[in-house]
Amino acid sequence: MDVNCISGGACHPIMVGGRIGLDRGPADLEPGGEPIIPDFSSRPFEIFCGDALETIRSLRAGGTSFDCVITSPPYLGQRRYGHDPREIGRAKGKGGVRSYVSALVDIFKAIPLRPWGSIWVNLGDKRAANTALLAVPHLFVLGMLEAGFFLKDAVVWAKEVATVEGTSIGHCQVEPAKGRLNGNAWEPFYRFVKDPRHSWSDTSAVRIPRDPERFFHKGTTDPIGQHPYSRRMTCATSLEGRCLPNVWYVGNSRKGEDHHAAFPRELVERVVAMSCPEHLVDDGGQARPRERKVQATEYSEGPGKFITVYGQLSCWQGPHHHGNAGEEGSASLATLRDRSGRNDTARRYVPRYPRTLGWTHMDKAVTGPGIVLDPFAGTGTTGEAAILLGRRFVGIDLYQDNADRMNRRCEAAFEMLQRTRGSSQSTQ
């Protein structure tokens, strides 16, 4: 196995003993995997140069578990990053789409993911010689479902959006497209989990700021303050804001140096914030993530707008709460809903926002932040976003040039994190 640690940490075989964030048992050891352990003692990241599957097996043998995986694997037959025959997605690889999908699924299955962990994968499609799409992302989703994962979120990464006025927002790569549309304007970004009911999520961290002219304390015209999750994020957020939809307009990255397929940090930072715990605690020898405690709190949208009703109001003039409509009104409402085909017709809506009350496990010692893994890390976009948001990061890439660039980028992110933390402390 050819795995080189270039970030200055301990990558030789080492006995596990009380290291933060590591869970190890005999069943976790992969045959032939030489144990390696990330060293986060001096900085919150480690970079490994080597084959993704082999390195993951060694990390698993060393006892490392991951809270979140964020990656964009090499697309099938799109480009070559070097001359290593182990590079996944090479155009002349045997087996075609199914072999490619199977190899990816095997890698994600091998990752030692914590029970609450998430795996986010950005994956593009490929066209056959007859110009038909091969449906690579769809086959990959099916492969992950067959492997026992659950698809919890499917995000559309929109690079260019055409408007009805004939203009466009953003820009995507020009594609010669005879008899079809330019397929470069969007890509899917999938989130897989082991257990959709117990996967860790902090959706408050990525909520969208509300209109301040329609956001007041109940019964008053006093505005409710909105607080960003982190000022180190490029994306605007509000802990009290609206739920983030699953279509994200984000331009292409310009920070990949000579890497021509780098995805932008703005695409990744929301994923880090909402899917990787900021604090892990020691709960009787077991690692547990702190979870945000929120309370749904009523608010006013302004005079005369506290309660709104949506649906076919022109057909319904009775009370908007089914229990107060009376026998005749209830029958009329049921008929209306049956005709419209929607149960939410003429439903009473009371606006609420999630007010943060605190965190769980506040009585337990914090052992560290969660760990983000990128097994196809390229130039380190995921690492930069994770480090700036106070998480730990492990990056793997097959080629030394990419690993070197990733190391420099993560170093710069860590220096920026230290500067911003120092300035915030000095102003308190």
Do 190 and 211 reside in the same domain of the chain?
A: yes
pLDDT value at residue 31: 53
For residue 153, count other CB atoms closer than 10 A to its CB. Answer: 18
Do 253 and 343 reside in the same domain of the chain?
A: no
* H or E segment and range at residue 4: strand 4-5
Do 56 and 168 reside in the same domain of the chain?
A: yes
Do 422 and 278 reside in the same domain of the chain?
A: yes
Do 235 and 257 reside in the same domain of the chain?
A: yes
Do 101 and 162 reside in the same domain of the chain?
A: yes
On whether residue 38 sits in a domain, the answer given is yes
Do 286 and 202 reside in the same domain of the chain?
A: yes
On whether residue 391 sits in a domain, the answer given is yes
On whether residue 356 sits in a domain, the answer given is no
**Tokens describing residue 137:** 């992302």
On whether residue 227 sits in a domain, the answer given is yes
Do 315 and 290 reside in the same domain of the chain?
A: no
- Which CATH number do you get for residue 211? 3.40.50.150
pLDDT value at residue 16: 31
Domain that holds residue 405: 4-295+361-426
On whether residue 343 sits in a domain, the answer given is yes
| Per-residue model confidence as pLDDT tens for the chain (428 residues) | 445 555 544 443 333 332 333 344 433 444 547 899 999 999 999 999 999 999 999 999 999 999 999 999 999 977 777 778 888 887 544 468 999 999 999 999 999 999 999 999 999 999 888 999 999 999 999 999 999 999 999 999 999 999 999 999 999 988 877 899 999 999 999 999 999 999 999 999 999 999 999 999 998 999 999 999 999 999 999 999 999 999 999 987 555 445 445 689 999 999 999 999 999 999 999 999 999 999 999 999 887 554 444 444 444 344 444 444 455 556 665 665 666 665 554 455 688 999 999 999 999 999 999 999 999 999 999 999 999 999 999 999 999 999 999 999 999 999 999 998 876 543 33
The alpha carbon dihedral of 90, 92, 97, 99 has a sign of: negative
Please, how many CA atoms are within 13 Å of residue 115, restricted to the half-sphere of its CB?
7
Angle 55-57-60 from CA coordinates, rounded to 5°: 110
pLDDT value at residue 95: 63
Extended strands (E) in 102-182: 113-122, 150-158, 160-162, 168-170
Do 405 and 343 reside in the same domain of the chain?
A: no
Do 210 and 317 reside in the same domain of the chain?
A: no
Do 77 and 215 reside in the same domain of the chain?
A: yes
Length of the chain: 428
pLDDT value at residue 203: 97
Number of domains into which the chain is organized: 2
pLDDT value at residue 403: 96
pTM, two decimals, is 0.84
On whether residue 413 sits in a domain, the answer given is yes
Please, how many CA atoms are within 13 Å of residue 325, restricted to the half-sphere of its CB?
19
Do 402 and 273 reside in the same domain of the chain?
A: yes
Which of these, 247, 234, 237, lies nearest to 204 by C-alpha position? Answer: 237
pLDDT value at residue 49: 97
**Tokens describing residue 91:** 């155009």
On whether residue 355 sits in a domain, the answer given is no
pLDDT value at residue 178: 85
Question: Do the beta carbons of residue 239 and residue 205 sit within 8 Å?
Answer: yes
Burial class (CB within 10 angstroms; exposed 0-12, middle 13-18, buried 19+) of 141:
buried
On whether residue 82 sits in a domain, the answer given is yes
**Residue 187: strand pairing partners:** 157
Q: How far are the Cα atoms of 39, 237, 407 from residue 394, in angstroms, in the given order?
A: 10, 26, 11
